[in-house]
Structure 1
Amino acid sequence: MIELKLREVKKDLSTKELKVAGYIIENTQALKNMSIQTLAKLNHVSTTTILRLCNKLGYKGFSDFKVDLIGSIPKKLNNEILQDDINLNDSLADVNSKVQAMEKSSIDETHSIVNIHALNNAIDLIINCQKIVIFGVGSSGLVGKELEYQLIKIKKDVNCHFDAHVTRSLISTLDKNDLIIIISHSGETPECVELLKLAGQSLVPSLAITKMGQSQISSLATLVLHTTSMEHASRLIPIRSKISQISVVNMLLTNLFIRQYDERLLLQIQNREKRKYPSKQ
């Protein structure tokens, strides 16, 4: 499919874009774990050149292009493959190296697709709201608990429960001055979709952290922060999606703490230093 699209737009591509297109065709497998910055460096072009190529192929960005590219790669049935490029017979060192590459590519990809305007609006929503309810299923829920813990530090009234029924009850108490945060890799988690619909009925603003592309959660949420969308739904360990979610949360929290920095946060830092390095009596 990708090769067909490239052939169709070939006459409209610049010399640099043709060079990148040729590299993509020859190195499809390697591109799975490659960031846009790495691809640009290997071809001695700018990331803008690659984004223009993606646009000419009909994609919104490099992430959407990679999703289609990975989906077009023929999948071989192999009982020795755990997930992605990790094999059951890999050595300990090989597995560690592959996990590191997956984590790094996920971080690089997440930072390359961040929408600064949406991130800034998300910070405003958190600062200005009165109460916050966070929900996610599985590993997304664990990321939600970390977000909850950090927001408590700036005295936000925040709740994150793994039980959708409890969360539903909490959302029913919210109004337009509050906020619901939904974390879902797929963008189609039934419990998350239901909670967003419930929030919408009460005009409660919502922030979704979910993968790029069209989904029910993206269409229902007031504001969306995107994560990478390269991970297959059948994966056993959500390495890419979890790292991407954590990267988004870290960007959100760090900028939020800078905006909310005051004497209270300074005191927390000083007390933490005192506990770590108690003065000698």
Structure 2
Amino acid sequence: MIELKLREVKKDLSTKELKVAYFIIENTQALKNMSIQTLAKLNHVSTTTILRLCNKLGYKGFSDFKVDLIGSIPKKLNNEILQDDINLNDPLADVNSKVQAMEKSSIDETHSIVNIHALNNAIDLIINSQKIVIFGVGSSGLVGKELEYQLIKIKKDVNCHFDAHVTRSLISTLDKNDLVIIISHSGETPDCVELLKLADQSLVPSIAITKMGQSQISSLATFVLHTTSMEHASRLIPIRSKISQISVVNMLLTNLFIRQYDERLLLQTQNREKRKYPAKTTK
């Protein structure tokens, strides 16, 4: 499918775009764990060139292109594949190497698609909100709990529950001065969609952390922070989506802490240092 699309738009490609296109055709397998920065570096072009190529092929970005690319790669007709290119018979060192490649690729991809405007607005919403309710299902919920824990450090009134019914009750008490944060890789998780609809009805601002592309969640949220979208639905271990979500949360929190840094946070840092390296008593 990818090769067919490349042939169709070949006459519209610049010399640099054509170079990247031929590289993609010849290195399809290797491209699965390759970030846009790495692809650009190997071809001595800018990431903008690659994004233009993706656009001419009919994709919204590099993430959407990779999803289609991975889906077009012939799968082995056996039961030895765990996920991606990790084989059940792989030795421990090979598995570790492949997991590392997946994690690095997810981080690079996430940072390449970050929307600075949306990130800034999300930070402002968190700073100005009186109450915050966070919700996610499965591993997304665990990422939500980490976000909750960190926001407590700056004394935010924040709740993250795994129970959608409890979360629904909490959201029903919120107003325009509060905030709902939804974390969902697919962007179509039924509970997440319903909770966002409830927030919208109550005029409560919302932030969605979800994969690139159109979804119910991305259309309902006030601001959307995108994660990488190349994780296959059949994966057993959500390595890519979880790492991508954590990367977004880390960017969000680090910038938030910088804006909120004050004497109290400085004291927390100093006290933590004292507990770790207590002063030696002198005789």
TM over 0.5, shorter chain? yes
Aligned counterparts of 1:179 and 1:72: Cα–Cα separation in 2: 40
Q: Deviations over 1:53-72 (max 9, x none)?
A: 11111222111111121222
What is the aligned partner in structure 1 of residue 142 from structure 2?
142
- Compare 71-80 and 60-69 and name the one that shifted more: 71-80
Aligned counterparts of 2:75 and 2:230: Cα–Cα separation in 1: 15
- Compare 13-22 and 60-69 and name the one that shifted more: 60-69
Aligned counterparts of 1:155 and 1:245: Cα–Cα separation in 2: 23
Tell me the secondary structure at the aligned position of residue 32 of structure 2. Answer: helix
Aligned counterparts of 1:54 and 1:30: Cα–Cα separation in 2: 18
Q: Deviations over 1:11-36 (max 9, x none)?
A: 11111111100011111111111000
Aligned counterparts of 1:219 and 1:168: Cα–Cα separation in 2: 20
What is the aligned length? 281
CA RMSD in angstroms, aligned pairs only: 0.9
Tell me the secondary structure at the aligned position of residue 224 of structure 2. Answer: strand
What is the aligned partner in structure 2 of residue 242 from structure 1?
242
Aligned counterparts of 1:206 and 1:110: Cα–Cα separation in 2: 20
Shift of 1:42: 1.0
- Compare 4-13 and 190-199 and name the one that shifted more: 4-13
Aligned counterparts of 1:144 and 1:224: Cα–Cα separation in 2: 15
Q: Deviations over 1:130-152 (max 9, x none)?
A: 10000000000000000000000
Aligned counterparts of 2:232 and 2:56: Cα–Cα separation in 1: 26
Shift of 1:195: 0.5
Aligned counterparts of 1:56 and 1:209: Cα–Cα separation in 2: 27
Aligned counterparts of 1:58 and 1:170: Cα–Cα separation in 2: 42
Does 1:46 find its partner at 2:46?
yes
Structure 1: where are the runs of 5+ without partners?
none
Aligned counterparts of 1:209 and 1:139: Cα–Cα separation in 2: 13
Shift of 1:2: 1.6
Shift of 1:180: 0.3
Shift of 1:73: 2.0
Percent identical residues? 96
Aligned counterparts of 2:31 and 2:97: Cα–Cα separation in 1: 17
Aligned counterparts of 2:7 and 2:181: Cα–Cα separation in 1: 43
Shift of 1:75: 2.3
Shift of 1:77: 2.7
Shift of 1:172: 0.4
Aligned counterparts of 1:139 and 1:224: Cα–Cα separation in 2: 19
Aligned counterparts of 1:186 and 1:76: Cα–Cα separation in 2: 25
Aligned counterparts of 1:84 and 1:78: Cα–Cα separation in 2: 14
- Compare 266-275 and 51-60 and name the one that shifted more: 51-60
Aligned counterparts of 1:71 and 1:120: Cα–Cα separation in 2: 34
Shift of 1:274: 0.8
What is the aligned partner in structure 2 of residue 208 from structure 1?
208
Q: Deviations over 1:228-268 (max 9, x none)?
A: 01111111111010000000000000000001000010010
What does residue range 1-281 of structure 1 map to in structure 2 within 5 Å?
A: 1-280=1-280
Shift of 1:277: 0.7
Shift of 1:6: 1.1
Aligned counterparts of 1:72 and 1:220: Cα–Cα separation in 2: 31
Aligned counterparts of 1:47 and 1:236: Cα–Cα separation in 2: 31
Q: Deviations over 1:130-182 (max 9, x none)?
A: 10000000000000000000000011000000011110000000001100000
Q: Deviations over 1:183-238 (max 9, x none)?
A: 00111111101101111110111100000011111111111000001111111111
- Compare 129-138 and 60-69 and name the one that shifted more: 60-69
Shift of 1:125: 0.6
